[in-house]
Amino acid sequence: MASGHLLAIKNPAAANKRYILCHSSPSFQEYAGPVAAKYRPLGWPITENLGASNPDEYISLFDNSASRELGVVYTDWSQTMVDMADAMVALGSVTKPAAAE
């Protein structure tokens, strides 16, 4: 997140401090949701069988309030995931399989 680094450089009060530059802490199941919602209706073979969330599973919880006080504006996590998937498709890193006959 380059804007966070730039904001910290320009703000003298940020000197010698560390900031969390992470929008939120989604579960692994939440990672897939936005991508599946976009690509499944387009015919991509995305499973609907997701493992249940495990409440005992460690999920990092980030406190980004200090970076927000610097003025960092985060892109919603769902949009970030769809943007990543779109880029992977556009670059050919991921290709849609041919339809089964």
In a domain, residue 99? The reply is no
DSSP-derived 3-state class of residue 34: helix
Across the range 35-46, mean pLDDT stands at 93
pLDDT tens digit string along 43-80?
Answer: 999 888 877 777 777 666 788 899 999 999 998 889 99
| Spatial distance between the Cα atoms of 56 and 21, rounded to a whole number of angstroms | 25
Whole-model pTM? 0.71
In a domain, residue 51? The reply is no
Q: Number of structural domains, the chain?
A: 1
The total number of residues shown for the chain amounts to 101
Kindly state the DSSP code that residue 12 receives in the 8-state scheme: G
| Spatial distance between the Cα atoms of 47 and 40, rounded to a whole number of angstroms | 9
**Of 99 and 88, the one with more pLDDT:** 88
| Domain coverage including residue 39 | 2-46+57-90
In a domain, residue 61? The reply is yes
In a domain, residue 98? The reply is no
For residue 28, is pLDDT > 80? no
| Spatial distance between the Cα atoms of 56 and 74, rounded to a whole number of angstroms | 28
